[in-house]
Amino acid sequence: MTKWWQDAVVYQVYPRSFQDSNDDGIGDLNGIRQRLPYIKQLGVDVIWLNPVYATPNDDNGYDISDYRAINPEFGTMADFDALLAEAHTLGLKIVMDLVVNHTSDEHHWFQESRKSRTNPYRDYYIWRDPVDGHAPNDWEGGFGGSAWEFDGATGQYYLHLFSKKQPDLNWRNPALRAAVYAMMRFWLDKGVDGFRMDVINFISKTDDFTHDHRSPINGPHVNEYLQEMNREVLSHYDVMTVGETPGAKPANALEYAGLNTNELNMVFTFQHLGVDLDPKFGRWVVHPFSLVRLKQIMSDWQTQLHGQAWNSLYWNNHDQPRVVSRFGNDSPQWRVRAAKMLGAVLHFMEGTPYVYQGEELGMTNAANFKSIADYRDIEILNAYQELVVDKGELTAEQMLQGIHHSGRDNARTPMQWDDTPNAGFTGASVTPWIGLNANYPQINAASQVDNPDSVFAFYQRMNQLRKQLPVVVSGTYKLLLPDDTQVWTYTRTLGQVQLLVVANFTADTLTRSEAAGTGKLILTNYADDAGAHLRGYEVKVYLQHKVRTSD
Ligand code: TEU
Ligand code: CA
């Protein structure tokens, strides 16, 4: 028997860029409520909202100054309550973003904490004395520079794994943990259906800070804290939880997302998204990805978690470039087929799929952003300053090429609703908070929702098949042709029923015996079945009976 969050498909909404309802160029809660029928029509079950809480927007809401107040740019608490009620009326659940590794430095807790070493809130954060007049260790912040900021008022450094406006909370402090649990109950008692937990495996750091080059990931007490959170809060509600766990491997997920470990329901790994990143410059210098490596990593997650823990399945989110541009082909000739092929490869694996806004339309990276002035993301702007301006390690052209391919703002351009000015995201004469992708006249929801050959219709069909075929949720995954550099093919088996997925990751026409499935072709991005041939970016999904004795 599966849990509701194992049968579900999640749709991620980045509120700032989804739908503006009051012509200020910024997406908002009432805009999301207007678009609930569209989300329902897609056939998903859950909406994950990126943070909507009060924030100074240093990191677009991942720097929270009041966990129990709505960002006025997005609306009011009444607007939130109306959105939640309307979603529930439509049979949609809403999952909030829980950002409790850090707060904004403008949060009341930090304002108090920095006042004095004896303030009751002092130990809500991580303060350390200078060592020989310097920061306690060489850790770096996620957005450049040291992870330590000196605060003159009390002569100590505070830790911030991200920007200096995002001080890390001290989870070793039981009073802090209790305050977080009380806040969680506030939202769950309103009827919220769960949480996505931001960098949740960072909440336990090393027990001391004297070591250099120590990774703060998967610290010594993470499981203890998550089990306490589950005992104190989560186990009292019928909710879904997904932890964002950068650096987590399958062995970590068996604990974090174990079916019987009483921590979380699933986690987001980043391992599969490292296959095209540079060892030194990360996302800013991009290498062609290896399909063999991608298949190997994701197949390991499938096989090592099966029956013991639960996978999330995603290509895209607000921190990642658009997958059709990254692992597919966003040229006019191939974009639609590649977007469908990538969707099918992901959605027929075992786990809960996450569809990021616009992925269901085949939206692409923003090729029209010509200069650093077009970008808004703190991660992009700080990296450009550090690598191009301060250190000169990359030229502006090299950096812009990397940003074009991998920058987070590729996912944060406004949702493309139709071909009217500003793509229907905001009023025609309004300047949105970030520029649009110039291809919105060609790629938009209005041109797809009634088109049976659209990427939207393909995602609708996948969502229907998930509901119709138990093998999609519960089948055992097996990778075929592991060393094939052009094709990804796998089976899912449940009893005598088997799915065969065969996907061509190239523009070439290929022949693979595996492509000639023995059962009913239930989904393809071409009109017909070319037998053992696979045309450019072709994907074929067969429903067949168990045929291979080796399975
Ligand atoms: O992301 C954590 C995180 O690891 C990403 O920032 C990722 O490492 C980076 O984008 C890739 O270089 C979460 C949120 O999803 C992200 O939007 C926030 O910026 C970050 O935490 C801090 O809250
Ligand atoms: Ca608005």
Q: What is the mean pLDDT of residues 327-353?
A: 98
Token readout for 83 is 């959105």
Look at ligand 1, atom 10, and give the residue with the nearest C-alpha: 319
Nearest ligand by distance to the CA of 24 = 2
Tokens representing residue 241 in the block: 């939880």
* Residue 350 is among the residues annotated as catalytic for this protein: no
Q: How far is the CA of 319 from the centre of ligand 1 (A)?
A: 6
What's the 20 CA to ligand 2 centre distance in angstroms?
4
Ligand 1 geometric centre to CA of 437 (Å): 22
Percent of the chain with pLDDT over 90: 96
> Would the pLDDT of 551 be above 50?
no
Q: Is 198 a catalytic residue?
A: yes
CA of 527 to the centre of ligand 1 (A): 40
- How remote is the CA of residue 126 from the centroid of ligand 1, in Å? 20
Q: Which residue's CA lies nearest to atom 11 of ligand 1?
A: 319
Give residue 91 CA to ligand 2 midpoint distance, Å.
Answer: 25
**Nearest listed ligand to the Cα of residue 20:** 2
Kindly give the number of the ligand 1 atom that is closest to the alpha carbon of 246.
Answer: 4
Q: Whose CA is nearest to atom 17 of ligand 1?
A: 319
Closest residue CA from atom 16 of ligand 1: 319
Query: What one-character-per-residue DSSP string does 214-258 give?
Result: ---SS-TTHHHHHHHHHHHTGGGS--EEEEE-TT--HHHHHHHTB
Question: Which listed CATH number (3.40.50.620, 3.20.20.240, 3.40.640.10, 2.60.40.1180) goes with 475-545?
Answer: 2.60.40.1180
Tell me, what DSSP letter sits at residue 422? G
Distance 425 CA to ligand 2 centre (A): 10
Residues 437, 367: Cα–Cα separation, whole Å = 7
Minimum-distance ligand 1 atom for the alpha carbon of 283? 12
Distance 74 CA to ligand 1 centre (A): 21
- Per-residue pLDDT of 413-433, as tens digits, reads 999 999 999 999 999 999 999
Nearest CA owner, ligand 1 atom 5: 319
pLDDT in tens, 213-250: 767 677 899 999 999 999 999 999 999 999 999 999 99
3-class DSSP state of 120: coil
Q: Is 90 exceeded by the pLDDT of residue 549?
A: no
Mutate which of 199, 377, 384 to test ligand 1's pocket (most atoms within 8 Å of Cβ)? 199
Give me the pLDDT at residue 209, please.
82
Residue with tokens 């823990």, as numbered in its chain: 309
Q: If you take atom 14 of ligand 1, which residue's CA is the nearest one? A: 198
d(CA 75, CA 203): 30
Place of tokens 């009217």: 420
- Atom of ligand 1 lying closest to residue 408 CA: 10
108-159 sits in which CATH class?
alpha beta
pLDDT, tens digit (0-9, with 9 covering 90-100), for 456-498: 999 999 999 999 999 999 999 999 999 999 999 999 999 999 9
Q: What is the pLDDT of residues 114-171, one digit of tens each?
A: 999 999 999 999 999 999 999 999 999 999 999 999 999 999 999 999 999 999 999 9
The torsion angle over the Cα atoms of residues 450, 451, 452 and 458, rounded to 10 degrees, is -90
Task: Please state, in angstroms and rounded to a whole number, the distance separating the CA atoms of residues 412 and 320.
Answer: 9
User: From the alpha carbon of 101, which atom of ligand 1 is closest?
Assistant: 23
Least distant ligand from the CA of 217: 1
Which ligand neighbours the alpha carbon of 430 most closely? 2
Give the containing element (helix H, strand E) for 145.
none
Mean pLDDT of all residues in 334-360: 99
Residue nearest atom 20 in ligand 1 by C-alpha distance:
62
Catalytic residue among 45, 59, 168, 198: 198
From 52, 62, 405, mutation site for ligand 1 pocket: most ligand atoms within 8 A of C-beta: 62
Closest ligand to Cα 321? 1
Atom of ligand 1 at shortest range from CA of 318 = 17
Helix, strand counts (H, E) of the chain: 15, 22
Asked if residue 192 lies in contact with residue 96, where contact means CB atoms within 8 angstroms, the answer is: yes
4-101+174-367+442-455 with 108-159: one CATH topology?
no
Q: What pLDDT was estimated at residue 258?
A: 97
> Which of 196, 269, 316, 319 has most ligand 1 atoms within 8 Å of CB, for mutation?
319
Residues whose CB falls within 8 Å of the CB of residue 290, separated by 6 or more in sequence, listed in order: 275, 485
Q: Please state the φ and ψ torsions of residue 488, each to the nearest 5 degrees.
A: -115, 115
Ligand 1 atom at minimal distance to the Cα of residue 62: 23
Q: What is the CATH T-level fold of the domain 4-101+174-367+442-455, as seen in this structure?
A: TIM Barrel (3.20.20)
Point out the ligand nearest to the CA of residue 31: 2
- The binding-site residues of ligand 1, defined as CB within 6 angstroms of any ligand atom, are 59, 62, 99, 142, 162, 198-199, 244, 246, 283, 318-319, 379, 408
Q: Does this complex have an ipTM over 0.90?
A: yes
The rounded mean pLDDT for the chain is 96
At 550 the pLDDT is 52
Q: What is the pLDDT of residues 196-223, one digit of tens each?
A: 999 999 999 876 788 777 676 778 999 9
Distance 383 CA to ligand 1 centre (A): 14
Cβ atoms of 324 and 439 within 8 Å: the answer is: no
Report d(CA 64, CA 46) in Å as an integer. 23
- Residue 47: Cβ-neighbour burial (10 angstroms; 0-12, 13-18, 19+): buried
Q: Mean of the pLDDT values across residues 359-374?
A: 98
Which residue minimizes the CA distance to atom 7 of ligand 1? 319
CA 20, 22, 23, 25 torsion: positive or negative?
negative
Catalytic site residue from 244, 263, 350, 379? 244
The alpha carbon of 15 and the centre of ligand 1 are apart by a number of angstroms equal to 17
For position 218, what pLDDT does the model report?
77
Q: Determine the pLDDT at residue 546.
A: 81
What are the sequence ranges of the domains in the chain? 4-101+174-367+442-455, 108-159, 475-545
Atom 23, ligand 1: which residue's CA is nearest? 62
Residues 372-392 pLDDT 10s: 999 999 999 999 999 999 999
